[in-house]
Every structure is written in structure tokens, then in C-alpha cells.
Amino acid sequence: MNIDPTGLNSYFFSDLAAGKDARRTKTRLARQTILGVVHDDLARFFVIYAWAGRLTAADFMSKILDVYEEYRPRRYGVEANGMQILFGSLIREEAKQRFGKTSRFSPIYQPTNIDKKYRIRTGLQPVLNFGRLFIQESQIELSAEIQGFPTAQTMDLIDSLETVINRVAPKIPKKQQKNINIEEYAEYLRNSGCPSHLIYDKVKQFELENIA
């Protein structure tokens, strides 16, 4: 689907892949990533940019700054675990020189006490289960990682997707999130052909079990 981000704030995240996951495994090296989303008042996330690859640090920094200049995100997170914090500092200094003090880069620390696959699964479950994630047809690698998770050969993009949704983009107020979840469930029941006289009872039960 084509996504028009007009009027919506965008949020980006990049991973240098220079930490423990960048060590050589039997199949691959972790890739650098740039992933950007916009989201609306219904807590839907639209992926507007998804890239993964391997560049020199200088070329990767240049690419990040070019993407920043094109999209001017509300916030751009850069992973700061381990030595990546130094790379993030260099980006922020270069951004100040290029864009002035208004650049919005910030360090993002991943939780180190949580298994990555568990973090990705639990972090994306609410968005995927309620159909609140939209990606473009051209984003083939991201789609493959989502569909193949957790056994796909790569998880660089889906990892960055979970991060940008849960640690870069702003949190939706709990009251608003509750209303969104209830409305989505009611819409699901209507679309599935549930009799109208049962929808009220099912929604109330859903609210008690999942949102209380």
C-alpha cells in the first residue's frame, strides 16, 4: 500500500550492528538498519522507510544524515548499547554542524536482561494482533522477517521495528489505548458475523480479561 505521511510525525531508529550480535555466526553478520514509521491517533503504525545493509561507519553515518534531512523526523533514535554510544555521539555532533541545534537524535538503550526474540514477540504482538501495522509492498525484507519470525535467517529490521514502536515513538495514553483496543475488538466481532446481541457481552468480557 502507498503511505502518505502528510501531517503525521515520523520516528526513526538506526542500529550500527556493532555490538555482540555483529559477531560472525554460522549464517551471517548482523546488518546495520534504518527504519522509520509514522503513527496516527488510532495507534496505527505505517512504515515509511526500511533499509538494512553493511556500510563503512562513515558511509552509514552519511546515509543516516541524508535520511534525516529528507524526512525530518520528530525523533531519531540511535542504539547506544556498548560501543555504539560513541557512534551516536558522532552523529549528534555532525548533525549539529549540518542542521543546527534543532536536530533530534537521541540514544536508545536496549534492555540487556531480556531475550531479543522474546522482546520482539511481546513488543509487536499488540500491534500485529489488532492489525495496526502497515508496511509497503516494496518492503520485501521487512515483510519476510515478520512472516518468518522467529526462525527467519535475519531479524535486523523486525528488531528495529519493535524498537522504534516501543522506545522511540511516544507512548499512547493508557486511557486512549484502552478505548482503541475495545473499539477494534468490537469491530472484529461485527466483521466476523457475531450476532449484535452477543457483542456487548463479549466486549465487556474482553475488557475485564485484557484491559482492566
What is residue 82's predicted lDDT score, i.e. its pLDDT? Answer: 85
What is residue 20's predicted lDDT score, i.e. its pLDDT? Answer: 46
What is residue 171's predicted lDDT score, i.e. its pLDDT? Answer: 77
Mean pLDDT by 10-residue block, N- to C-terminus, for the chain (212 residues)? 69 82 51 95 91 96 96 94 89 91 88 92 90 94 96 95 95 57 66 75 67 48
pTM, 2 dp: 0.77
CATH topology (fold) of 10-168? Nucleotidyltransferase; domain 5 (3.30.420)
**DSSP string for residues in 83-114:** THHHHHHHHHHHHHHHH-TT--EEEEPPPSSS
What is residue 25's predicted lDDT score, i.e. its pLDDT? Answer: 43
What is residue 184's predicted lDDT score, i.e. its pLDDT? Answer: 62
What is residue 24's predicted lDDT score, i.e. its pLDDT? Answer: 42
CA–CA gap between residue 12 and residue 150 (Å, rounded): 23
Q: Which residues contact 77 (CB under 8 A, 6 or more apart)?
A: 11, 12, 13, 14, 105, 106, 107, 108, 163, 164, 167, 168
Neighbours of 157 (CB within 10 A): 25
